[in-house]
Structure 1
């Protein structure tokens, strides 16, 4: 989907004025000297990229200084939560697109029609807007394209007697490959089950084999029960990954980032299901293993004839919004508007090696990596990302249930029961209302 275009400068000015008025005015924006804007982030793209963001933005906005508070991704909710509870702290904060953002929408200033102007040059699924609908309130601005692929180590496949140029394309082929890799003394799939990673990185790739886009929207609005056979089958296949021994034995006790990713980067695993942008993308793995040793493909298809089996689960990356309590809303709006622009899109490509959303980024800047080029082929046929349709309680229950199933403490049916209970606790879902 693409954002609507705002057709007049006057309309944009009215929208900005309305935004600032609704948020209590400019506050410290009117003070003498540069405004210091506090930004809470987990630094998607890495420290070097964010250093470039700070220096480049400040060079062209000498009335604003950025004070970046960086928090590790797995600790981010712990740090952000007290700010939201106390309604104080950063002027701009990040959250992942979708229900993670919507769960926290009370912390953000809705952008109104300004969202359409800011995002006019972005390719987007409206993941910053409630119900993925641009006619509903939007709470921030994304700038990166995100989604899931399966990376593989060509050397590990070769050592296991497999063809590194033809990775497994079906679930049965993947199981056979895992058996061969294990026999060769390596882990098949590097995996960490703590935190939200199972929801964002693994669940969508299994779900595409059983759900239609209407079903995925049913997950979003709570009308698809976790007792539905389709979702039970998704849980069964997730369970197979660990109960069949395809993953590292310590998967239940570690996070995917950094622990699971490190297993793959060390050359100790054949596969890693991660993302196309940010810290565990093709660029980081290429540096660790060598670009010529790194392959990338779709997750293997369980039901190759399923409508979404050959699609790419695509979504915006982190969304940056202005907090409701900020007294520097005008400066915050300037910053997030700049994040969506071409200049930052090119910084994202150059320093983060990520996939930009801005359509005006100079194609000459795009990397020459074989893995990056393969990703361009995979993302050409996108579908909705089922993972970001999960509420916070569901994402937590997915990870916890998978850990318990792996350890033999829970059956898949009981896992489905826990998922349904989590759905019913979800404040952002109406369960059909």
Structure 2
């Protein structure tokens, strides 16, 4: 081979190597550009529905939106306000946040970006209702978040405990007097009648509405929302007396004043040591979770026993949209964040909620056949057919706190109902959202 031929081949090899390097550099540049186009959003939540549901939810969202990555900041429900509060004060942190529908959200609305038109259009097309994310529960007013499911209160019962106590599991108590008689029999076998935790927000959301339905009309509840119904009104005093009677009669566990309902109170029930528990239809302490712990065959769901049998709303269901998700006012990634909010209300997520978390969706397009088979769920689906307003979400933060703290002290014999009433009225008058 001549020197000229050798030189030519060498030049060819070098040219090929140069082109290959250029190709690799171009590929790296393109890969870097693609990576830069992925937006990461932070979502503050308390993981309603459980870890498995949220793992699948995020995976489904990221598959449908490959340009967005989700980082979850999950906080226990009872610690949520103390974590969220500093973010709101400093106007920094997550791009999406969860809050309960109603006044809890409205009180924090400065932290949320109003829903844009395209997100509202999605809500109208997909959801049965989303009013719990809108001021005054009115969808013609400003809305700050979308719900992902239906929520509300029922009382669960353990059929095995009722049977052990000599009660008929097919005929649980329907009135306050029947409940009192049932509790006496349950206590006689050494078990708690009604699992209860009075610390935190739970009394306001899970217990108060079920007593309030015996004394308030929907007009009264709307007056509560606006601050027009004082706690000194005889109707409101009767609600407090009804709550107080639960602990005064000895229905609940002695630890109730010092524990939260989630997880402590619920744990008493799902451990098989209580006959009844007043919780919710969706999320972590519902028919699905209790069925997994106790066996579906042992779990039933009913309305709370009535104090006033002929009260107009006594046989109704305290229903409300579940927690809502909105985009923070300080987020620099609002477009990506609103994609996540829309996905929470989507049919795909509704199916996940039903099949994985045992939740009840508000999406119009979810297939009823996708719901799991459960007697307790069947009972719930009948109960929710007659809904009324959920009075718990009409309480301001000040009122909810005074309700829980007051009931704790009443249960310990340190406070009278009259003094509790005065505290509730003071809390109402101190509520910015009701002035």
- Normalised TM-score (structure 1): 0.91
Match of 2:28 in 1: none
2:67 to 59, 63, 67: 63
For 1:173 and 1:125, the matched residues in 2 are separated by 37
Match of 2:133 in 1: 128
Match of 2:81 in 1: 77
Match of 2:147 in 1: 142
Alpha-carbon deviations, 1:152-205, whole Å to 9, x = none?
001111111110000000111011111111112111000000000000000000
1:163-312 → structure 2 map (5 Å cutoff): 163-312=168-317
- Are positions 1:95 and 2:99 aligned together? yes
> Quick check: which has more Rg, 1 or 2?
2
For 1:62 and 1:370, the matched residues in 2 are separated by 39
- Are positions 1:51 and 2:59 aligned together? no
For 1:179 and 1:64, the matched residues in 2 are separated by 56
For 1:416 and 1:205, the matched residues in 2 are separated by 18
Alpha-carbon deviations, 1:12-60, whole Å to 9, x = none?
xxxxxxxxxxxxxxxxxx9942000110000000011110111101011
- Are positions 1:106 and 2:113 aligned together? no
For 1:204 and 1:303, the matched residues in 2 are separated by 14
Match of 1:330 in 2: 335
**Alignment CA distance shift 1:328-1:109 (3 Å):** same
The alpha-carbon deviation at position 136 of structure 1 amounts to 1.5
The alpha-carbon deviation at position 400 of structure 1 amounts to 0.1
Maintained 8 Å contact 2:130/2:146: no
The alpha-carbon deviation at position 114 of structure 1 amounts to 4.2
For 2:127 and 2:202, the matched residues in 1 are separated by 26
For 2:204 and 2:293, the matched residues in 1 are separated by 26
Aligned residues: 401
2:38 to 9, 34, 37: 34
Maintained 8 Å contact 2:146/2:326: yes
Alpha-carbon deviations, 1:188-237, whole Å to 9, x = none?
00000000000000000000000000001111110000000000000001
For 1:119 and 1:177, the matched residues in 2 are separated by 44
Which of the two has greater helix per residue? 2
For 1:53 and 1:270, the matched residues in 2 are separated by 34
Q: Which runs of 5+ in 1 are unaligned?
A: 1-29
1:342 to 339, 347, 371: 347
For 1:310 and 1:123, the matched residues in 2 are separated by 22
Q: Which runs of 5+ in 2 are unaligned?
A: 1-33
Kindly report structure 1 stretches of 4+ aligned residues shifted beyond 3 Å.
112-116
The alpha-carbon deviation at position 115 of structure 1 amounts to 5.1
